[in-house]
Structure 1
Amino acid sequence: MAQVLERNTESLSKYCYNSWQTRTLHALRKCRTAALGGHIDRCNNPSCHRLHLSYNSCRNRHCPKCQGHKKEQWIQAREEELLNVPYFHVVFTLPSALNRLCLYEPKNIYALLFKITWQVIQDFASNHKFLGAKPGMIAILHTWGQNLSLHPHLHCIVPGGGITQSGKWRSAKSNGKYLFPVKAMSKVFRARFVASLRKELEPQTKDFYESLFKNDWVVYCKRPFLGPAQVVEYLGRYTHKIAISNHRIKNLDNKSVTFSVKDYRHGGRKSLLRLSDAEFIRRFALHILPKGFVRIRHYGILSSYHKKFTLIQLQQSLGRVQLKERKPLQHQLCPVCKKGKLVTLTTFMARGPPGYWMEKLRKQSNK
């Protein structure tokens, strides 16, 4: 990714819809290069004491190089909050007819997607016909398809049950094998979203609103996870995922990018797609979220307010989830001895490391 951006440095702004997207692309281009400065670390293992020169990462959430550490930290925090109940994976997708609004009003449209999705889950759960309890939800926004087209959808993790007004846990119907009817959720989701569009955004044409009702909106509820451990694996794949990772990019030549895609309409069949640099960057920029927009949100019994009290009580009554012990984070481990931790000795700006430290590094490499 950085190579593609670097060879198009002068023209990045041409492929973006706003200055924030341009700034983000430049941050990704400079990631882990001298342009962002760096630091010199030393291993604290007495038998090693190796010096290591590292350039700073951009820490941008859209960067393919900067997500591993954040993802592991987030997963370990979520493991502490798992309930010993079935979990469901529900996906709410916006139709392509809304893509134009997503381009020009991304913050409002995506915020509305979160809001209406939670309303639908909450209202179906409160209905005694389906559950009659207060639910919880973790929602993760993705805006891309495999070919980098605009495809906004919300991945939701929903526990198979909720808390009744008396404070007791009530499981979902059919022993946790069934959540809510997706066809009914789809109709309610569409009706409420369009109604909110009319109220909260600038008026659109009558034909536009009518076009939103021509087709069913996609709400998909996958079968429940086999257990809480599967939920953690899923979260690891989806939480800090970006539009395209470096391992999918197979070739860079003649100002074009070739990357792998999966066709989910045909059983996940893999193929290669070739795009010009300009089209590749333009499509990638579509998925740069507005500044400060939160793409992972927690609701109901999984919200930060309930975690301190309700969640702890539920874990005590439902039993703690037994998970495999995870390895400690490796980001500060010495890559040479694999035992010591790296301790920062000095930092430097874009001008480069001080000559004193460069001399030490040269001597070390000559040994």
Structure 2
Amino acid sequence: MFRDRGPAWRQANAGHVSLGQLKVTSAIESCRRASLGGHVERSEDCVHTQIAYNACRNRHCPKCQGAAAKQWLAEREADLLPVLYFHVVFTLPAGIADIAYQNKAVIYDLVFKASAETLTTIAADPKHLGARIGITSVLHSWGSALTQHPHVHMIVPGGGISPDGTRWVSCRPGFFLPVRVLSRLYRRLLLEKLIATHKAGRPYVFGNQTPLADAQAFAAHLAPLRNAEWVVYAKRPFGGPEAVLAYLSRYTHRVAIANSRLIALDQHGVTFRWKDYRVEGRGRQKIMILATGEFIRRFLIHVLPKGFNRIRHYGLLARGACAGNIARARELLAIKKREDAPTETIADADKPRCPCCGGRMILIELFVRGETPRHSPAAPTRAIRIDTS
């Protein structure tokens, strides 16, 4: 899609596409093509040779996030505890999401901070849990139809370490923290942070939002949100650590839409599957057709600012103190340290096998951008059919 229609779309929208968006389109169009260079591999057990072109490794490319997710999950596996895990979702109201469209780095950062502060504050309250908890947060800015819908997914162990560090405090079975209490504190904290940020000269507003540069106009814009119910959703707990990993593998490195949801690209536009969450049951699954230009526009509005981290850790799982906190939690839960077993690593498991003999492929040549490999790929293998009828 990007290779066939991208150049014409960029030309038609010149001056309205950011540098970050241009880099994403260029990366996706070049991914796994000769323009990025690559390497040549040959089987150890036969003469089969194949060329593999380099990936773009852009975090918005659907093809490149699979390997990154596997590596990230391998690193997170050591942090899992044998307790219930809960999934909590904090959503940004539409009135603020419109401002976030022009100020992604500022507003999304506030959402991360307000949601994490909400969860850690309520969990530390003796009326609820009375413990220090750990949080893994993942930002998604899209809805299923690629519309602007910023929200933060949080994966949280069902308990935490007591303030004095002497015991593990478990939550009630099947219940983590009261959603309504979370919603109201989240609303207050985020609105306070927005007002403070506006007084400091940000967020920037332009176009039809220019009047919001005035402090009184900005406060009036936020006023209706003070009495509205904000969406904070707590899902049922996971079945165990394995279920947590399976879920994280689908969420942490997800892009706005995966190739698997695409159905067709033709003269009518782009056809893809989406979920209408306003509908219950099987009717939720629907088909949408968008003009190719509109589809590309919707995909690119979810390109994040350069350097913005959309996976963050808080509390016990904060990167600086995570190892020590996990070790203490395991000690309090009376979990023996797992012995390192000589298992196959993620990197080894991902190494390709020869399609002819199943043997290990070894690297025999590297070539950079603009070079042509000296070796030629083997001819496609043909299955030999023996008719014994």
**What TM-score, normalized to structure 2?**
0.85
Q: Measured at CA, do residues 341 and 195 of structure 1 come closer, stay the same or move farther in structure 2, by a change above 3 Å?
A: same
1:163-198: CA deviation from partner (whole Å, max 9, x where unpaired): 113213333442x32111101111111111011101
Q: Measured at CA, do residues 94 and 339 of structure 1 come closer, stay the same or move farther in structure 2, by a change above 3 Å?
A: same
Q: Measured at CA, do residues 344 and 188 of structure 1 come closer, stay the same or move farther in structure 2, by a change above 3 Å?
A: farther
Task: Please tell me the residue identity of whatever aligns with 1:342.
Answer: I
- Aligned counterpart for 1:287 among listed residues 302, 307, 323: 302
SS in 1 for 2:350: coil
- Contact 2:95–2:222 (CA under 8 A) maintained in structure 1: no
Q: Measured at CA, do residues 69 and 320 of structure 1 come closer, stay the same or move farther in structure 2, by a change above 3 Å?
A: farther
- Contact 1:75–1:232 (CA under 8 A) maintained in structure 2: yes
Q: CA RMSD in A?
A: 2.4
Q: Which residue of 2 aligns with 1:190?
A: 187
Q: Which moved more, 1:262-271 or 1:180-189?
A: 262-271
SS in 2 for 1:88: strand
Q: Which residue of 1 aligns with 2:352?
A: 333
Q: Which residue of 2 aligns with 1:166?
A: 164
1:10-29: CA deviation from partner (whole Å, max 9, x where unpaired): 33262854211111111111
CA distance in 2, matches of 1:12, 1:255: 19
Distance apart, 1:50 and its partner CA: 2.7
Q: Measured at CA, do residues 124 and 312 of structure 1 come closer, stay the same or move farther in structure 2, by a change above 3 Å?
A: same
- Aligned counterpart for 1:302 among listed residues 306, 314, 317: 317
- Aligned counterpart for 1:181 among listed residues 169, 178, 185: 178
**Percent of pairs identical after alignment?**
37
Structure 1 portions without partners, runs of 5+: none
CA distance in 2, matches of 1:186, 1:70: 33
Task: Please tell me the residue identity of whatever aligns with 1:276.
Answer: A
CA distance in 2, matches of 1:192, 1:58: 39
CA distance in 1, matches of 2:241, 2:337: 7
- Aligned counterpart for 1:345 among listed residues 360, 365, 370: 365
SS in 2 for 1:59: coil
- Contact 1:257–1:280 (CA under 8 A) maintained in structure 2: yes
Q: Which residue of 2 aligns with 1:51?
A: 49
* Equivalent residue pairs, number: 356
SS in 2 for 1:22: helix
Question: Is the counterpart of residue 315 in structure 1 residue 333 in structure 2?
Answer: no
Q: Measured at CA, do residues 17 and 208 of structure 1 come closer, stay the same or move farther in structure 2, by a change above 3 Å?
A: farther
**What TM-score, normalized to structure 1?**
0.90
Distance apart, 1:81 and its partner CA: 1.1
- Aligned counterpart for 1:105 among listed residues 103, 106, 110: 103
1:130-183: CA deviation from partner (whole Å, max 9, x where unpaired): 111111100001011010000000000111111113213333442x32111101
Q: Which residue of 2 aligns with 1:116?
A: 114
Distance apart, 1:321 and its partner CA: 9.7
Task: Please tell me the residue identity of whatever aligns with 1:185.
Answer: L
1:201-244: CA deviation from partner (whole Å, max 9, x where unpaired): 34453331113235211000112112122111111111111110
1:331-365: CA deviation from partner (whole Å, max 9, x where unpaired): 32224233314325221313x424x323xx36x66
Task: Please tell me the residue identity of whatever aligns with 1:213.
Answer: R
CA distance in 2, matches of 1:197, 1:366: 61
